[in-house]
């Protein structure tokens, strides 16, 4: 199945406000977003509402999207880079039913992208907004369990404990072992948890032309990285930040520079590597690129 | 105009603290100069720990002032500083050695990480150099450098205490507060620790305030002594003077109670 181009939704459901949330709630969330944009990387508490799905399923991201989405928006929803996983499909359908806006699987066509755990490979533009789903917004949480203390640490820029964690990694494993949700310094001031995106995606956040918004529903926090803001992954001078690399390229489109998923294809240890970003892979294949196993497209989609 | 370095490093002026209606300590006055060690002795409940907390910026006294001569800003009232400035001071200029090493160490972090934490907190970003510094300090406090990656909960009590000292001294503080540094350690370990402390005080020109109930520790470590009882300072003076020629009845009681083997 080829990537779905812009899909016009049916008329929204009767009896629900546009995008499910009432206008006052949306206004409250937008105020929190403005505050977050004014202080890049700082976590802003907001009055998270009860959503029709439990915590841990993207309620934070959904509330942010709901407060921003308008009738002329084109929405894309991805989960681990893919448009057709259960979560992505459900959230996209939720918004289609409650707003009637067009949806798409093509990154290039979207104005609003909600994502879980990946940044699209295609560079985003100034007219786009990326909304991240965040489980635990506090980057210091596992080093300092007390909320009172972490707030003070952020206020005083007291981040020594973060580097202690990285030091411990190097002492124990020879390198920094964090592979996802890798902490970053935003605008030279706040340390931020970028959500469980792979560290491969961290460089994309730096000076991105699109607005990046982060919503955590259970913890009820919103934070933001405005367009063209400096985002630097934490590291040591003699152990600089490095992204993941693969020896293989994408089996379908041959990409050697995108984030690859490992797909098990049989019970004899057979596996292949495929672009995690399904739209990116499709775009490359449409443009004529092929990988070592281009006919495996159907196989990948079945899994 | 008096030379800056002749000004006292730490000055307590009328420091008093009440916990509601209960007295913690009352009207404590003293001056501390660089290179001096002040001992504070007294029985349990005499107000020593309260006083130490007030002096080390952990407890704001109900009355009185604690004045500290900073490196670049002259003498300041430590409770007049902002929280950020106070934290920076506690991290760079001061050290606090707790009675129980578990209060002063991160047990889940390796010895090297513990020693390097202060350096990283003030901006050190070179792993190799941080590790070298940590190594040097471990050797200095006589901990086997091969244990740099071991966690403190695998160390003995004496080693934990020495690690705590290394952790505090790595940023070259000018003033160290110690609360019963040898509490719970056996005699030979105590002796080694006191030797180490004496050496460090001499080498680094540290000033220290040592709270203890053990007179032997004060005799070995402190230049001057303050005896506290029921929240008040009953006697103070040079250590030798106070211990050999006690004037106040309580001090006489303390001195005469020391067990002689």
What DSSP string runs through chain A?
-PPP--B---PPPTTS-TTSS-HHHHHHHHHHHHHHHHSTT--EE--PPP-SS-TTSSHHHHHHHHHH--TT-EEEEEETTBSSSHHHHHHHHHHHHHH--EE-S-GGG-SEEEEES---SSPP-TT-EEEEE-S---TTTTT---HHHHHHHHHTT--HHHHHHHHHHHHHHSS----BS--EEETTTEEE---S-BGGGHHHHTT-SSEEEEEETTTTEEEEE-TT--EEE--BTTB-------SS--TTT--SSS-EEEEE-STTS-EEEEES-HHHHHHHHHTT---S-GGGHHHHHH-
Given a cut of 70, is residue B17 above it in pLDDT? yes
State how beta strands A211-216 and A221-225 pair: antiparallel
A168–B110 C-beta distance less than 8 A: yes
Q: In this predicted model, what pLDDT tens digit does every residue of B154-213 receive, in sequence order?
A: 999 889 999 999 999 998 899 999 999 888 788 888 888 888 888 888 888 899 999 998
Among A58, A217, A250, A291, the active-site one is A250
- Which among A58, A215, A253, A291 is annotated as catalytic? A253
Does the pLDDT at position A82 exceed 60? yes
Taking an 8 Å cut-off on Cβ atoms, the answer to whether B127 and A239 are in contact is yes
Q: Which of A153, A152, A141, A119 is nearest to A225 (CA)?
A: A119
pLDDT at A130 over 60: yes
Of the candidates A48, A60, A215, A275, the residue annotated as catalytic is A275
pLDDT beyond 50 at A194: yes
Residues of chain A neighbouring B130 (CB-CB closer than 8 A): 167
Q: Which residues of A touch B (CB under 8 A)?
A: 152, 156, 158-161, 163-164, 167-168, 170-172, 236-239
Nearest alpha carbon to residue A121 among A226, A274, A241, A229: A274
> In the predicted model, is pLDDT for residue A299 greater than 90?
no
Residues 6+ apart with CB under 8 A from A295: none
> What is the Cα–Cα distance from B96 to B179, expressed in whole angstroms?
8
Tell me the C-alpha to C-alpha distance, in Å, between residue B150 and each of A59, A79, A250, B42, B140: 42, 40, 42, 37, 17
B109 touches chain A (CB under 8 A): yes
**Residue B2, both tokens:** 């008096």
Q: What is the pLDDT of residue A301?
A: 62
pTM reported for the whole predicted model: 0.85
pLDDT at B4 > cutoff 80: no
- Does residue B164 belong to any structural domain of this protein? yes
What CA dihedral angle connects B223, B229, B230 and B232, to 10 degrees? -50
**Residues B110, A172: C-beta atoms closer than 8 Å:** yes
Count of domains forming chain B? 1
The pLDDT of residue A300: 66
Structure tokens at B51: 């006083």
Enumerate the residues of chain A whose CB falls inside 8 A of the CB of residue B112.
167, 171
Span A181-194, mean pLDDT?
Answer: 96
d(CA A262, CA A270): 10
Domain, as residue range, for B124: 104-172
Tell me which chain B residues have a C-beta less than 8 angstroms from the C-beta of A160. Answer: 117-118, 120-122
pLDDT at residue A11 greater than cutoff 90: no
B48 lies in a domain?
no
Question: A236 pairs with which residues across the strands?
Answer: A239
pLDDT at A303: 46
Percent of chain A with pLDDT over 70: 96
The pLDDT, as a whole number, for residue B231 is 92
Residue that the structure tokens 């990046």 belong to:
A212
A178-187 residues labelled b (16+ CB within 10 A) or e (exposed)? eebbbbbbbb
Catalytic residue among A60, A217, A281, A291: A281
Q: In what order do the strands lie in the sheet with A44-45?
A: A44-45, A221-225, A211-216, A129-133, A112-116, A74-79, A102-103
pLDDT band at A99 (very low <50, low <70, confident <90, very high): very high
Whole-angstrom distance, CA of residue A223 vs CA of residue A184: 13
| Residue B90: per-residue pLDDT | 87
Cβ of residue B126 closer than 8 Å to a chain A Cβ: yes
In a domain, B135, yes or no: yes
Mutation target among B81, B120, B126 for the A interface, most CBs of A within 10 A: B120
Closest to B109 (Cβ–Cβ): which among A156, A164, A237? A164
Residue A249 known to be catalytic: no
CB-nearest partner of B120 from A164, A170, A171: A164
User: Given a cut of 80, is residue A109 above it in pLDDT?
Assistant: yes
CA of B125, closest CA in chain A: separation in Å? 5
Nearest to B53 by CA among B20, B88, B83, B12: B12
Known catalytic residue at A188: no
Tell me chain B's radius of gyration from C-alpha atoms.
18
B126 within a domain of the structure (yes/no): yes
pLDDT at B88: 86
Question: CA A141 → CA A154, A162, B62, distances in Å?
Answer: 12, 10, 34
The answer as to whether B198 is a domain residue is: no
- Say yes or no for a CB contact (<8 Å) between B113 and A168: yes
Residue A281 annotated in active site: yes
Residue B246 covered by a domain:
no
Q: Residue B160: inside a domain, yes or no?
A: yes
- Chain B residues touching residue A167 (CB < 8 angstroms): 112-113, 116, 120, 127, 130
The two tokens of residue B67 are 């004045």
Q: Which of A163, A165, A188, A237 to mutate to test the interface with B (most CBs of B within 10 A)?
A: A163
Specify burial of residue B85 (Cβ count, 10 A radius: 0-12, 13-18, 19+): middle
Report pLDDT for B184. Answer: 77
Look at A65-74, A102-111, B46-55 and tell me which has the smallest mean pLDDT: B46-55
* pLDDT score, position A2: 45
pLDDT of residue A3: 52
Cα dist from B22 to A9, A103, B230, whole Å: 72, 69, 11
Q: Is residue B142 part of a domain?
A: yes
pLDDT tens-digit profile of A227-275? Answer: 999 999 999 999 999 999 999 999 999 999 999 999 999 999 999 999 9
Query: Which candidate from B113, B125, B126 shows the least CB-CB separation from A164?
Result: B113
Q: Kind and range of the H or E element at B169?
A: helix B157-169
CB spacing of B125 vs A236 below 8 angstroms? yes
Contact B126 A238 (CB under 8 A): yes
Query: How far is it, in rounded angstroms, from Cα A156 to Cα A175?
Result: 28
Residues of chain B with C-beta less than 8 angstroms from the C-beta of A168: 109-110, 113
Beta strands A102-103; A74-79: pairing state: parallel
> Which residue out of A161, A162, A164, A234 would a mutagenesis test of the B interface target, given it has the greatest number of B Cβ atoms within 10 Å?
A164
With tokens 């007179």, the residue in question is: B215
């Amino acid at each position: 199945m080829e990537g779905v181009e812009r899909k016009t939704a049916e008329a929204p459901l009767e009896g629900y406000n546009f995008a499910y949330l009432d206008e006052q709630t949306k206004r409250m969330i937008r105020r929190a977003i403005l505050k977050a944009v004014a202080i890049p990387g700082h976590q802003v508490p907001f009055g998270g509402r009860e959503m029709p799905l439990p915590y841990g399923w993207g309620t934070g991201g959904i509330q942010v999207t709901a407060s921003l989405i308008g009738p002329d928006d084109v929405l894309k929803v991805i989960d681990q880079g893919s448009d057709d996983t259960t979560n992505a499909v459900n959230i996209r359908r939720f918004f289609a039913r409650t707003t009637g806006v067009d949806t798409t699987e093509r990154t290039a066509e979207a104005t609003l992208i909600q994502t879980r755990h990946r940044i699209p490979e295609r560079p985003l533009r100034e007219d786009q907004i990326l909304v991240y789903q965040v489980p635990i917004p506090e980057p210091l949480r596992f080093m300092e369990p007390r909320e009172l203390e972490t707030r003070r640490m952020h206020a005083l820029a007291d981040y020594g404990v973060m580097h202690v964690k990285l030091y411990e990694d190097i002492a124990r494993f020879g390198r920094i072992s964090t592979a996802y949700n890798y902490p970053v310094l935003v605008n030279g001031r706040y340390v931020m948890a970028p959500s469980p995106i792979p560290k491969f995606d961290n460089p994309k956040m730096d000076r991105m032309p699109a607005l990046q918004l982060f919503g955590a529903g259970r913890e009820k926090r919103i934070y933001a990285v405005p367009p063209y803001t400096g985002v630097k992954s934490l590291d040591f001078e003699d152990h600089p930040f490095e992204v993941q690399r693969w020896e293989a390229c994408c089996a379908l489109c041959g990409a050697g520079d995108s984030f690859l998923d490992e797909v098990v294809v049989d019970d004899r240890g057979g596996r292949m590597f495929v672009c995690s970003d399904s739209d990116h892979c499709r775009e490359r294949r449409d443009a004529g690129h092929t990988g070592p196993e281009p006919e495996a497209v159907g196989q990948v989609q079945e899994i | 105009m008096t030379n800056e370095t002749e000004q006292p490093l730490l000055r307590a002026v009328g420091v008093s603290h009440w916990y509601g209606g209960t007295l913690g300590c009352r009207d404590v006055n003293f001056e501390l100069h660089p290179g001096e060690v002040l001992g504070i002795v007294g029985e349990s409940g005499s107000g020593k720990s309260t006083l130490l907390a007030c002096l080390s910026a952990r407890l704001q006294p109900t009355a009185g002032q604690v004045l500290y001569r900073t490196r670049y800003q002259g003498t300041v009232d430590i409770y007049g500083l902002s929280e950020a400035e106070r934290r920076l001071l506690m991290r760079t200029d001061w050290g606090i050695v707790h009675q129980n090493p578990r209060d002063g160490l991160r047990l889940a972090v390796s010895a090297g990480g513990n020693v390097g934490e202060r350096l990283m907190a003030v901006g050190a970003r070179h792993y190799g150099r941080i590790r070298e510094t940590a190594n040097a300090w471990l050797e200095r406090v006589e901990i086997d450098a091969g244990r740099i990656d071991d966690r403190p909960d695998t160390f003995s009590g004496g080693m934990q205490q020495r690690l705590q000292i290394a952790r505090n001294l790595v940023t070259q503080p000018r003033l160290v507060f110690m609360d019963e540094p040898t509490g719970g350690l056996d005699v030979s370990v105590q002796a080694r620790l006191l030797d180490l402390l004496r050496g460090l005080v001499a080498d680094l020109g540290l000033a220290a305030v040592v709270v203890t109930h053990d007179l032997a520790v004060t005799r070995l470590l402190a230049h001057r002594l303050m005896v506290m009882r029921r929240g008040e300072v009953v006697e103070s003076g040079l250590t030798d003077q106070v211990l050999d020629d006690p004037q106040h009845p309580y001090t006489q009681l303390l001195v005469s109670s020391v067990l002689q083997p």
